[in-house]
Amino acid sequence: GQQQSANVQSEEIDEAAVLVAQVEDFKTSKTLRTTVNDREIVVFHHLGKYHALDLRCYHSGGPLHLGEIEDLDGRACVICPWHKFKIVLESGEGLYQGVDPRETKRTKKWFSKGVKQRTHKVTVRNGGVYVTLSDTSTMWCDSDTYANEKFNDQPCPD
């Protein structure tokens, strides 16, 4: 029905896509922790859209699958549980709050640090959720530092 089709992004599957879950899996949980070709990935299902990002936070490798989702300035962000860094689900941009010195009214606003967390393509087809890793050779992302290492659940140093 209407409701269901709004929740499904249906596209052609590309060759490198890896099946990570079924659409039904996201009925009970909005977050999926997975591994695609040895890379730790988190998939969020938020407001009917899927977003795949490197699982380990670009700052110090924090576990983003344990982070809360918050709307900041109209952008859905995951808040890293370790030091509360904010990462835009859609783009992987790091956000910080600051004051624009050129403005007379010194109100705090959200600014982008640029893309810090690598995002990956999600495709939904026939009830399956697929992730295609983005090409790591064309652009460096800070989260690449932590993408292939194994971390335990010890808090990282501040």
105: tokens are: 């009214």
90 within 8 A of 11, measured Cβ to Cβ: no
Minimum distance of ligand FES from residue 21's CB (angstroms): 24
Give CA–CA dist 97/6, Å, rounded: 33
The smaller minimum CB distance to ligand FES, of residues 74 and 157, is found at: 157
Minimum distance of ligand FES from residue 70's CB (angstroms): 14
The residues that touch ligand FES, with contacts defined as CB under 6 A, are: 57, 59-62, 80, 82-83, 85, 156
The smaller minimum CB distance to ligand FES, of residues 3 and 154, is found at: 154
Minimum distance of ligand FES from residue 142's CB (angstroms): 11
53: tokens are: 């990002």
Biggest alpha carbon distance in the chain? Answer: 54
Give CA–CA dist 131/108, Å, rounded: 36
The smaller minimum CB distance to ligand FES, of residues 41 and 80, is found at: 80
